[in-house]
């Protein structure tokens, strides 16, 4: 196996400005699946050393710094190791094995709390050691800016020596690691990333990493939405398939052909009944002189469209007598006395004590 060529540093690399913290594991003996790596706000080492001596205000962790670290971990494309006693960092110089105790790949910033690894997977051996209290502490290692802001995160270690005993050895290992450029990209990669994101040339690393984090968040949101829509689509397809297989309920649904046939029969029956009624209405109205022969066709058409309108017309129409014809069409009047005798004739009957019916017959 051949080594990839490495870019030689143009100047000696100064010793790394780094820190190794101590975090106590849970007292219940369980191997946690989430661990806080760096607390929010200003913080110092809790081992009594007073670190960091080179930053009087202490280290500082905020959302912007978290975004940079999250983007770095995501850009590695591989899980980050949790080892024993920082052996991953010192293995090259100490010549010792560096077995993994666990792995994580996802970091999450929790405002007011800190930077968390949220998908910690322990090996069986490490989980058993934690359960047996053989290891009690976690030690994250990070480098930081002059103002105390963490800028790079290294492997986390299980340890029982959270103090300063390993610091010189770790410092030498980290300095050599950074000098060889085996872990982190140089400025050429940053320039390529800035160009790919469409950011202005010269954009700071923190700004570029924040943009990467925003893109990843958007990608995760879209992936969640796609998964939800896919689930809804699958559910709807299942419902459609079930309904198709079951067929329509004959107690609730009637075939369209049957409904169409019934509608045709009803229309024919309605037309038949309406037609008979219209014929009688027109005939009676013509006999009464309310519809002259010239309006017969019109009256029939009106009745076919709206028999109620025809009835209203006939009810309001006055009898029309054509000159040369009688109102009864030449037929003798039938019915009561009012249809046979006028007022003068009735007065004569009353004065002479005659029966109006007899008078009418005699008159005829």
pLDDT greater than 50 at residue 169: no
Radius of gyration, CA atoms only, the chain = 52
SS3 for 103-127 is EECCEEEECCCEEEECCCEECHHHH
Give the mean pLDDT of 77-92. 82
Beta bridge partners of 19: 142
**Minimal CA–CA distance to 52: which of 88, 25, 80, 16?**
16
pTM above 0.75, yes or no: no
Contact 158, 85 (CB under 8 A): yes
With the C-alpha atoms ordered 202, 207, 213, 215, is the resulting torsion angle positive or negative? Answer: negative
Each residue of 142-157: pLDDT tens digit?
A: 888 888 999 988 888 8
Question: Is residue 180 classed as helix, strand or coil in its secondary structure?
Answer: helix
Does the structure show a pLDDT above 70 at 234? Answer: yes
Q: List Cα–Cα distances, 241 to 229, 234, 245, 249, in angstroms.
A: 18, 11, 6, 15
Mean pLDDT (whole number) for 6-29: 54
- In whole angstroms, give the CA distance from residue 195 to residue 189: 10
The separation between the first and the last C-alpha atoms of the chain, rounded to the nearest angstrom, is 142
* Amino acid 6: pLDDT: 43
Measured distance CA(53)–CA(17) in Å, rounded: 11
CA angle 165, 171, 173 (to 5 degrees): 110
Q: Has residue 174 got a pLDDT over 70?
A: no
pLDDT for position 352? 67
Least confident of 11-15, 21-25, 135-139, 235-239: 11-15
Of residues 168 and 343, more confidently modeled: 343
Average pLDDT over residues 50-77: 88
Residue 171 pLDDT exceeds 70: no
Average pLDDT over residues 103-112: 94
pLDDT at 364 over 80: no
């Amino acid at each position: 196996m051949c080594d990839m060529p490495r870019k030689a540093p143009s100047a000696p690399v100064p010793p790394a400005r780094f820190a190794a913290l101590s975090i106590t594991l849970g007292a219940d003996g369980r191997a946690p699946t989430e661990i806080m790596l760096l607390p929010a706000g200003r913080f110092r080492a809790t081992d009594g050393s007073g670190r960091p001596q080179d930053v009087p205000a202490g280290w500082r962790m905020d959302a912007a710094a978290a975004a940079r670290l999250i983007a770095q971990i995501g850009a590695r494309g591989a899980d980050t190791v949790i080892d024993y006693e920082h052996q991953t960092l010192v293995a090259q110089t100490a010549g010792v094995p560096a077995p993994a105790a666990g792995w994580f790949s996802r970091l999450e910033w929790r405002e007011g709390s800190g930077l968390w690894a949220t998908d910690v997977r322990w090996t069986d051996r490490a989980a058993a050691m934690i359960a047996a209290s053989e290891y009690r502490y976690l030690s994250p290692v990070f480098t930081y800016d002059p103002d105390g802001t963490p800028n790079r995160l290294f492997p986390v270690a299980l340890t029982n020596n959270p103090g300063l005993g390993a610091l010189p050895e770790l410092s030498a290992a980290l300095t050599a690691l950074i000098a060889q450029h085996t872990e982190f990209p140089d400025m050429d990669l940053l320039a390529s990333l800035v160009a790919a994101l469409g950011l202005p040339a010269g954009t700071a690393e923190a700004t570029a990493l924040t943009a990467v984090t925003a893109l990843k968040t958007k990608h995760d949101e879209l992936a969640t939405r796609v998964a939800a829509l896919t689930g809804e689509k699958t559910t709807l397809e299942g419902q459609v398939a079930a309904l198709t297989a079951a067929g329509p309920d004959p107690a609730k649904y009637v075939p369209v052909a049957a409904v169409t046939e019934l509608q045709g029969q009803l229309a024919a029956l309605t037309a038949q009944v309406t037609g008979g009624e219209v014929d009688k209405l027109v005939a009676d109205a013509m006999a009464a002189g309310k519809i002259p022969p010239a309006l017969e066709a019109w009256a029939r058409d009106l009745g076919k469209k709206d028999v109620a309108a025809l009835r209203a017309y006939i009810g309001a129409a006055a009898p029309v007598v054509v000159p040369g014809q009688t109102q009864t069409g030449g037929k003798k009047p039938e019915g009561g006395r009012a249809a046979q005798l006028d007022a003068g004739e009735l007065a004569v009957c009353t004065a002479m004590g005659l029966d109006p019916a007899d008078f009418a017959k005699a008159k005829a």
